[in-house]
C-alpha cells in the first residue's frame, strides 16, 4: 500500500470522556487520504480500550501506539512517539478533547499544495464553550492572514513572545520541517510543550496563516492550561520556557537572532515585574509596530 498523504496524531491520557468525539471528527473528514495514530501516554481509564477498539475496527486507517511498559512520559514524548511512526509527508495533530470541522484536512492540504514554500499552515481557533452551555468565540491566529509570513516576524509577533494569539495544534506541518527542527522537546511534559515546538518552526520556516476556523478548542477546567493556572504554576513554567528558548535561539542559526533575543529579554523582564509588564503588554497591543 502507498503511504497516506497526511498523518494525524492524537495523543491522549485519561481522556475517555471526550476521546471518541475527537476520533469521530477525524474519521468524518472530507479528505480521506490520511492515517490516524492514537498514541496513549499510559492511560489507566477506559481510553486505552476505546482507542484499541477503533484501531481493531479499521486497522488500515487507525493505529494504536503506547510507550514501552505503557509508561506515562508526558505530552512531548508522546507526540514524538507518534511522529516516529508516521508515514505521511504532512503531519497534523488533534488533542483528545477537541473536535475538527469536516473540511479541515482538505483545505489545509490544498493550501500547502498551492503554497509550496510554506512549511506549515494554521487557521483561526474556536474557543468552544457551547458544548457545556457557554458562548463560543473565534480568535484569529497570527497577525497577517492570507499570505506567507516569514521568520523572524512570526515568532516576534505571536505569543509566547508577542501579543498576537499563538499557533495551536490545528496546524499542519510538513514532515521534513518536523525532522529539521527535531520534533517536540521532551523536557516539556505539559504546558508549553506545543509552543516549544512551534517556536522552532516559526524561527526557521515560512508559515501560511488562514482566517478559517477548523478546530473547536474545548474549554473546560480539566484542561492542561486550566490546571496549571489553578495550581499557581504558570509563572514558573513560563520562566522555564523562556530560558530554554533563549538557549535554543543562541545555539542555532536563525534569522533575526538579535531581534529574537531582545524580545526574549523583554518577556523575561515583564515576568519579573508583573504590574509594569501588564502595562507594557497593553502598549504592545496598541502599538505593535513600535514595541517589537
Q: 25-42 in b/e burial notation, b at 16+ Cβ within 10 A?
A: bbeebebeebbbbbbbbb
How many Å apart are CA 245 and CA 199, to the nearest integer? 8
Smallest CA-to-CA distance from 201 within 224, 190, 185, 187 is with: 185
pLDDT of the residue at 292: 60
Output the domain CATH number for residue 221.
3.90.550.10
- Alpha-carbon distances, residue 282 vs 162, 265, 270, 276, 279 (angstroms): 11, 17, 12, 10, 5
- The answer, yes or no, to whether residue 234 has pLDDT greater than 90, is no
- The answer, yes or no, to whether residue 69 has pLDDT greater than 80, is yes
Domain membership flag for residue 1? no
pLDDT of the residue at 225: 63
- The answer, yes or no, to whether residue 91 has pLDDT greater than 70, is yes
pLDDT of the residue at 168: 86
Domain membership flag for residue 105? yes
Domain membership flag for residue 118? yes
Residue 275 banded pLDDT, cuts 50, 70, 90: confident
How many Å apart are CA 3 and CA 34, to the nearest integer? 9
Mean pLDDT of the chain: 91
Domain membership flag for residue 247? yes
* Structural domains in the chain (count): 1
pLDDT digits (tens, 9 = 90+) for 104-157: 999 999 999 999 999 999 999 898 898 888 998 998 988 888 889 999 999 999
pLDDT digits (tens, 9 = 90+) for 245-263: 999 999 999 999 999 999 9
Domain membership flag for residue 135? yes
Q: Say which residue the cell 506545543 belongs to.
A: 194
Angle between helices 257-272 and 234-251 (to 10 degrees): 160
Structural domain including 87 reads 6-286
pLDDT of the residue at 282: 80
pLDDT digits (tens, 9 = 90+) for 20-66: 999 999 999 999 999 999 999 999 999 999 999 999 999 999 999 99
The DSSP string of 176-201 is: HHHHHHTS--TT--BTBHHHHHHHHH
Of residues 234 and 165, the one with the higher pLDDT is 165
Domain membership flag for residue 204? yes
The percent of residues above 70 in pLDDT, for the chain, comes to 94
Residue 230 banded pLDDT, cuts 50, 70, 90: low
pLDDT of the residue at 284: 77
Residue 89 banded pLDDT, cuts 50, 70, 90: very high
Domain membership flag for residue 292? no
Are 123 and 212 a contacting pair, CB within 8 Å?
yes
129 upstream amide cis, omega within 30 of 0: no
Domain membership flag for residue 291? no
pTM across the whole model: 0.91
- The answer, yes or no, to whether residue 227 has pLDDT greater than 70, is no
- Mean predicted confidence (pLDDT) in 149-169: 90
pLDDT of the residue at 279: 84
Amino acid at each position: 500500500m502507498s503511504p497516506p498523504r497526511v498523518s494525524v496524531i492524537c495523543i491522549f491520557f485519561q481522556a475517555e470522556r471526550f476521546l471518541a468525539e475527537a476520533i469521530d471528527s477525524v474519521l468524518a473528514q472530507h479528505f480521506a487520504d490520511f492515517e490516524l495514530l492514537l498514541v496513549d501516554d499510559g492511560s489507566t481509564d477506559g481510553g486505552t480500550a476505546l482507542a484499541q477498539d477503533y484501531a481493531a475496527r479499521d486497522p488500515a486507517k487507525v493505529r494504536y501506539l503506547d510507550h514501552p511498559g505503557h509508561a506515562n512520559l508526558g505530552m512531548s514524548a508522546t507526540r514524538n512517539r507518534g511522529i516516529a511512526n508516521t508515514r505521511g509527508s504532512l503531519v497534523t495533530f488533534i488533542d483528545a478533547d477537541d473536535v475538527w470541522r469536516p473540511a479541515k484536512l482538505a483545505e489545509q492540504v490544498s493550501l500547502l499544495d498551492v503554497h509550496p514554500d510554506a512549511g506549515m499552515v494554521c487557521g483561526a481557533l474556536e474557543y468552544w464553550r457551547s458544548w457545556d452551555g457557554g458562548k463560543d468565540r473565534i480568535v484569529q491566529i497570527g497577525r497577517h492572514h492570507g499570505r506567507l509570513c516569514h521568520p523572524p516576524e512570526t515568532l516576534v509577533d505571536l505569543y509566547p513572545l508577542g501579543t498576537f494569539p499563538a499557533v495551536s495544534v490545528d496546524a499542519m506541518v510538513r514532515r521534513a520541517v518536523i525532522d529539521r527542527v527535531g520534533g517536540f522537546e521532551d523536557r516539556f511534559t505539559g504546558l508549553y510543550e506545543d509552543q516549544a515546538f512551534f517556536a522552532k518552526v516559526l524561527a526557521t520556516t515560512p508559515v501560511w496563516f488562514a482566517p478559517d476556523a477548523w478546530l473547536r478548542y474545548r474549554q473546560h477546567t480539566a484542561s492542561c492550561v486550566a490546571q496549571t493556572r489553578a495550581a499557581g504554576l504558570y509563572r514558573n513554567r513560563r520562566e522555564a520556557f523562556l530560558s530554554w528558548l533563549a538557549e535554543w535561539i543562541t545555539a542555532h542559526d536563525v534569522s533575526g537572532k538579535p531581534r529574537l533575543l531582545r524580545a526574549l529579554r523583554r518577556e523575561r523582564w515583564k515576568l519579573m515585574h508583573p504590574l509594569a509588564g501588564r502595562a507594557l503588554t497593553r502598549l504592545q497591543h496598541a502599538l505593535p509596530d513600535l514595541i517589537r
